[in-house]
Each structure stands twice: as C-alpha cells, then as structure tokens.
Amino acid sequence: MKIFKKVALVAVSFVIASLYGFNSKEENSTNSLTNISIKETKVAYFASGCFWCVEGIYESIEGVEDVVSGYAGGYTKNPTYESVGTGSTGHAETIAVYYNPKRVSFQTLVDVFFGSHNPTTKNGQYPDYGSQYRSIAFYNTLLEKQIIENTIKKLNKEVYHGKIVTEVKKIERFYPAEEYHQNYERLHPENPYVQKISIPRINRFKHKFPELLKKEEK
C-alpha cells in the first residue's frame, strides 16, 4: 500500500492525457501510480476470503508493485464493509494486484491464487463464511479468461477431482475498501485475527512458493 498512499502532483497535460485512455488504479485515485511506469503495469483481481490475508500474500511476490483491498463482483454501487458483510450487495472481498508483467506473469498470479486458498469451499474460507468470502478469479481479457479456465481444468483433473467452485468473472468495477483496511495485516500485527489466521496463511504461502518472494520477504 506504500504506492497507493502517495499523493502526487500531476501536470495538467497528464490529466488531459489520462482522460483518453490511461488506466487508473481505480476511479477515485487516478494519479496514485505516478511512481510506476503505467505502460509496464497491469492489474489483476482476485477474491479468496479475507482481503487482509490475500493482500499480504500478493504484496510479498516479486514483480508486484502494489495491492489494494476492495470489493468487486457485486451489483450495488459504492459498497461499504458493513453492507458487503451482510451478503446483500453481491460483492466479494477482492484485491487488486498491480504488477509488472516483465517480472511476474498473470499465470503465476493465478497459480498463487489457487495455491493459497481452498477453491473447493463454497462461500468462504475458514474461519470466514458468506458470499462476501467466496472464491472468484476475475479477468480483463479473453486471454486471461483462458488462462484461468485452463488452470481450473488442470487442477480439477490432477488435484481437486472436479470440485473447484471458483467463479470466473469479467471485472466490471472495483471499489477500494475503506482506508483502515489497507495494509491491515502489516499495520496491526497485534490483532488476534491477524496473529491466528492471516499470518499463518501468509506463512503457508511463503513456504509453498519461496521462489516467488521478494528478497526482503525471504
């Protein structure tokens, strides 16, 4: 979340250019990626349980520039943590992963997604249950959709015996979560949930994918 929290002074010419096709991190923070080359940065979206945990997992990956916790996959506008938690908005807790495709591929991000949660659990990841915690792999392009579907097909055949319940959905809109949710695991190591659930889950990922970690995370 270091990049997301920076506020940059942007020239008028950049603002004008952004209106004609620059992809922003989300609609309300167009300039938050000033220190990242926009041409080299892509965004992937995943939902696999509590976003405190998932954010920490993806932030530790080499080639990932930033991760933002938020909400996606639903049908109501401007969801909040409280409204999403009721299960009535259709949204799932989702993370937006800003990554450099020259350093980490979308396929790798998908492999991390399936390798860091249980994709056979419908509407939840222990100890969190409800539609807001369901498993969703979002895609921006048909190629990304094909990568996700091919991965599911392979895992269903070799590992999960056809039991994967992960949704494959085109990303329509991503709403960043409230500021206090951003980088929560790192900022609140004393929180009982973080200690008992988030950190163990992140450590299991690190043990499983040591070759993907940033140097400071090893």
Active site residues: 50
- The CA distance from 190 to 175, in Å, is 27
Phi first, then psi: what are they for 39, rounded to 5°? -65, -25
Q: How many CB atoms lie within 10 A of CB 148?
A: 22
CB neighbours of 48 closer than 8 A, spacing ≥ 6? Answer: 54, 113, 116, 117, 119, 125, 135, 136
Calculated CA dihedral for residues 114, 3, 68, 213, nearest 10 degrees: 20
Cβ 171 vs Cβ 179: under 8 Å: no
Phi first, then psi: what are they for 138, rounded to 5°? -90, 155
Q: Can you name the residues that pair with 128 across neighbouring β-strands?
A: 125
